Structure 1
């Protein structure tokens, strides 16, 4: 890199004006935090997630003004045996009195008693929209809890779409807080192990954490364009801590290395900026390009994740190029103080790449054998991915520790007609014709035995549109419920509604929406893969001026992703890991996980891949043979790569301990993929391929090498 490059100029200015650079960074963080407090973050609305046939159904219902009012349900059961009807009736009367006094409640229907005598439910209709219900559900929960305290002999619990979502996000918030408490000390401990000094260990963690806080603040106004689907904070913490620490680590390690070679602090900072700083910029752009692939999915939740991640990566890169050089220039040699004696001596004794050098030696000696063994290992891990099953998350995949989930599960067991519901909407030349068609459909559906009618329900009609609700008595993730949806869409509804004059119909509802969402992700996955791989291939070819390097990078990324998917299938489609990770196997991978993991993994794997290739290229430029250049590049970068991978694996592994199955799958997938990528792929496959390709690895670029000393034969002739 030229000393006039952007990274060097930024580092030089920051190093020569350290207080200004530090002050500007603090101002940036303060402004971002202020934005977070001043600008309310926008959340996705229900219509933002409409897709497929269920989206068409929701749109038809909204246009006709036939949407169901948001509703909640209070379930009353007895801890032991059947209900005492007198006590239950008294509790219901008290509930009706308190609930009807709440402004958000439209009406409280008559109680429904279970046929088995073990439960009763009280249906509640709320005013406004589902979004309004989310804001008012706390009042209902408080009223229910008050009646529960007055009737300890009963179990009185509330559930419904709004309260269920409230309970889920409360659990997500608790999980996120737990992840923060664990990831920060673990990351600091790993940095302490890597540097052996408190200040050097604290700088990457501090910068990463400030980048996360700033990114969340800057996302707040952006949420008006890309509203939060609920996972932004999780993803920003997950990715921000990983890349933020890594970028600082790359820079700091190189600066310390140059100082050990006798460079002044300013010269060491400039060299780090010209080498590691350049790698940080390329790595950051690679992550940004990969995350931009989520926009191709045309999904509101993914778009919010992509936007927030792009912001946190950009902030982390900016911090590494500006405030980090300022801190290093201001601290100088004090960055290695105070030393932790045991860790400091251990670092000195092991030296750089002590373990990696031993692994690398046989790889360089027998590259074909090493590559074959590695390919077989990766292929063995990837084979289970061929049998990967994906399905939407549902009630069965949620932790039973969430009270609203337990209540909903119990409600569906005692009241089968309140199970998995489907909404059929028909629009015809007249409302009477549409209603007659739906009545015919209801009769055929009940006779099929796959669906049941909701007791007391009437077909709703407005203009030429009519709406019917049908229920499967099975959980939405069960094969029976899925078969019922398929039968409804492909046989029952066409037979009853296609003959109507000018008819338009669609099957929607929550279960149908989840199914359509999963299918949407599967349909978009090939386009996302093509977009991400295509852009990263072009980016690598441009960065290293080598088509061969770009192709090798793409193949290695695919190998890591395939192995990750294989491990996900092994862990979550079977029961052997349930006790280890504290979960109940759903028998599938949640439908959005593969697409999300692919994008994240391609971006993150570029972190140290660019760094390693950069060090190998330095060796080639110095005139080393391909084998020696690979040895030099791998060994000199091994310490950084190992530390960076350890940080990523530890942060991701924390998410594997959380309660939500999606978080577990995301954490396991990312941790395993980074572990495989940093060991088997980067220490075995990459060096063996580079040695086998030799100078051809840089084709079509002809790298100009440094001047070589005069040949020895000329000295002898003298």
Structure 2
């Protein structure tokens, strides 16, 4: 099959290119717009209490004022507000109210909303929509910020806008600039690395142009699939997709070019060499991509919509990249011919691979020492995992220089830590009768008595008298661990145990959402990790026709996962609230899936050398010598593209960029090139059981390794 696809793409290149251009134009024109969100509640299943609370609030209080933003006023000199300052705050609020911006219903200055030290005054901005991410509302808050700056011109006061929609506005603007920075840095990095490897400007630029087309197709397919599946994409998905597409896409292109160059050196004509390379590398790329796709698709089992939508998006991205690698890449290089290597003449010469040869010789002579040292190194790094602390507030990763972030810090310096974002408790009568006011007052006192609760506002009763809402201000910052522990523990216990008879109770608000996210993620860790591991092991077993090899390959990659996460904990967690709660899943899937690809290449080459009749030491030396250049080049490019995320201002993208880049380098250079060959050598023929029953050199029916299609798993090796 792969030979047929390769020959078709090479012999009909213009047709293949035309089909891709038509598909790209159609998706750009017809696909819906991808609308990412960072609202955690939108990613939780409907049965969680915090989500049910949102629905209760929408039904019982449809006309209630919805907080959109908070204006934090203070004097530029840091002193206490004067009577004239407070009067000016009221005038500015009235002026902003007079702008009548879309979906902003009120801009209110409450004379009582002044901090105890008299230094901060608040203006509350209310909206007609309950969705902080509403596009019209976000635009209006942006306009409000601009108008407020004009009104404050020449004043002694300073204003910072924070709150739900103001944070969304800053988050979107920061994300847009991050995407542009990541895209540009990734392009420069890939071009430079390809130029160093092949010394050809054509090869340096062409993969970038091809993947640019693939990126547009992928975004259209993801937007269409997300709309059909009813999924929301996480706000960070664009930056992640950029590095995945350009990193993995460049790797697959590299696999093809190495084998294409190898066949040219053997004397084949360009089209024949390219068609043969595409056919033989096709299975390599498909095998590698299937492991990654299966790993990403395992996220669909997650109860968190954020993880399942990310898994779907990334699986689609890799699938589209795979199709492009099998069709578009061979077609483009068929049109270019050997001119693709211009001006370099290195494609005509056999390389010496001196460094790889020395590494291969060392690996062949000292397998036990290499296995021991590599294992100890990985285990030592993995010790950091025991100190991992999850951070569930994605907004905490925003840069400190954003207005909403700084304004929130100013707010919390003058008011109770939880006052900016209170927790809400809803009590709903289950029968036809209305709620009893006396019982509601007594219930409010019970809530006030919970340790860690600062204050509880009197119950707000719905027009039909059947639902009551309590605004509960905590002593803690709404997104910190103590707040989540309180909401998920003592507060929820009191809410349910002390409630009036004949009622249902729900705890909602941002803290409750984060507490439910924590519960969902802990459940997902226990489900997704094992299922992804089993699926990958099954694929490895089928590809390698072995029961033994998949076990030690997965153990090796598991050590790589632990070492990667442990190193990230030691580097980033000191002095922070914790690491991105999704980081273990992301590291697990990327490091396990992509790291396994490098192991497949090495193990398959080892088996090929052994089947050709070489002694174990010679087989290891040859396998490492011929596989290390490709594994190393692919890993450096892929790690570099993820490492670009460390340039972002978003701390969670920094963590993700380092973790995946470090994990890929660890998987390639420590596990793929050293540990796996060493363990395979120590395992001997048992590594290939039961496939080795038919692979023994010289047995009847056993063909030379190089003549069998099954061995194209090593097709990406540069020689």
Q: Normalization by structure 1: what TM-score?
A: 0.89
Instruction: Report how far residue 501 of structure 1 moved.
Output: 2.2
The corresponding residue for 1:239 is 244
Cα distance in 1 between the residues matched to 2:625 and 2:456: 68
The corresponding residue for 1:125 is 126
Q: Secondary structure at the match of 1:155?
A: strand
Specify every segment of 5 or more residues in structure 1 that has no aligned partner in the other structure, as ranges: 1-5, 576-584, 709-718
Question: Is this contact kept in 2: 1:379–1:563, CA < 8 A?
Answer: yes
**2:21 pairs with 1:19:** no
The corresponding residue for 1:679 is 669
Deviations 1:465-508 (A, max 9, x none): 222111124323445434532454355324422xx323322322
Question: Is this contact kept in 1: 2:492–2:507, CA < 8 A?
Answer: no
**2:94 pairs with 1:92:** no
Cα distance in 1 between the residues matched to 2:108 and 2:495: 30
Cα distance in 1 between the residues matched to 2:660 and 2:220: 26
Cα distance in 2 between the residues matched to 1:450 and 1:362: 61
Q: What are the residue-to-residue correspondences of 1:326-405 with 2, within 5 Å?
A: 326-339=331-344, 351=351, 353-393=353-393, 396-405=396-405
Question: Is this contact kept in 2: 1:518–1:592, CA < 8 A?
Answer: no
The corresponding residue for 1:571 is 571
Deviations 1:128-170 (A, max 9, x none): 2315744223223323432323323211222221121121121
The corresponding residue for 1:59 is 55
Change (3 A) 1:401 1:32: same
The corresponding residue for 1:650 is 640
Deviations 1:498-535 (A, max 9, x none): xx323322322101211211221111112101211111
Q: Which moved more, 1:241-250 or 1:462-471?
A: 462-471
Q: What are the residue-to-residue correspondences of 1:169-568 with 2, within 5 Å?
A: 169-224=172-227, 225=229, 226-339=231-344, 351=351, 353-393=353-393, 396-416=396-416, 418-429=419-430, 433=435, 436-448=438-450, 450-453=452-455, 458=460, 462-489=464-491, 491-497=493-499, 500-568=500-568
Cα distance in 1 between the residues matched to 2:19 and 2:488: 58
Instruction: Report how far residue 173 of structure 1 moved.
Output: 1.6
Given candidates 679, 692, 704, the residue that maps to 2:682 is 692
Cα distance in 1 between the residues matched to 2:447 and 2:538: 54
Question: Is this contact kept in 2: 1:427–1:434, CA < 8 A?
Answer: no
Change (3 A) 1:460 1:573: farther
Cα distance in 1 between the residues matched to 2:531 and 2:450: 45
Cα distance in 2 between the residues matched to 1:625 and 1:28: 51
Question: Is this contact kept in 2: 1:425–1:467, CA < 8 A?
Answer: yes
Q: Which moved more, 1:501-510 or 1:93-102?
A: 93-102
Instruction: Report how far residue 446 of structure 1 moved.
Output: 3.4
Instruction: Report how far residue 376 of structure 1 moved.
Output: 0.5
Question: Is this contact kept in 2: 1:197–1:337, CA < 8 A?
Answer: yes
Deviations 1:608-627 (A, max 9, x none): 33333333333234333343
Question: Is this contact kept in 1: 2:66–2:127, CA < 8 A?
Answer: yes
Given candidates 46, 71, 75, the residue that maps to 1:74 is 71
Cα distance in 2 between the residues matched to 1:513 and 1:257: 56
**2:603 pairs with 1:613:** yes
Q: Secondary structure at the match of 1:109?
A: strand
**2:34 pairs with 1:41:** yes
Specify every segment of 5 or more residues in structure 2 that has no aligned partner in the other structure, as ranges: 700-719
Q: What are the residue-to-residue correspondences of 1:654-665 with 2, within 5 Å?
A: 654-665=644-655
Q: Normalization by structure 2: what TM-score?
A: 0.89
The corresponding residue for 1:716 is none
Change (3 A) 1:693 1:322: same
Change (3 A) 1:676 1:618: same
Q: Secondary structure at the match of 1:552?
A: helix
Instruction: Report how far residue 679 of structure 1 moved.
Output: 0.9
Question: Is this contact kept in 2: 1:99–1:143, CA < 8 A?
Answer: no
The corresponding residue for 2:709 is none
Instruction: Report how far residue 275 of structure 1 moved.
Output: 3.0
Change (3 A) 1:132 1:608: closer
Deviations 1:233-276 (A, max 9, x none): 12211211111000000011111011112222233223323432
Change (3 A) 1:521 1:435: farther
Instruction: Report how far residue 689 of structure 1 moved.
Output: 1.1
Q: Secondary structure at the match of 1:546?
A: coil
Change (3 A) 1:132 1:392: closer
Instruction: Report how far residue 120 of structure 1 moved.
Output: 1.0
Q: Which moved more, 1:150-159 or 1:212-221?
A: 150-159
Change (3 A) 1:202 1:310: same
Cα distance in 1 between the residues matched to 2:208 and 2:138: 39
Question: Is this contact kept in 2: 1:141–1:158, CA < 8 A?
Answer: no
Q: Which moved more, 1:509-518 or 1:477-486?
A: 477-486
Change (3 A) 1:617 1:434: farther
Question: Is this contact kept in 1: 2:548–2:686, CA < 8 A?
Answer: yes
Instruction: Report how far residue 601 of structure 1 moved.
Output: 2.2
The corresponding residue for 2:106 is 107
Given candidates 4, 11, 27, the residue that maps to 1:9 is 4
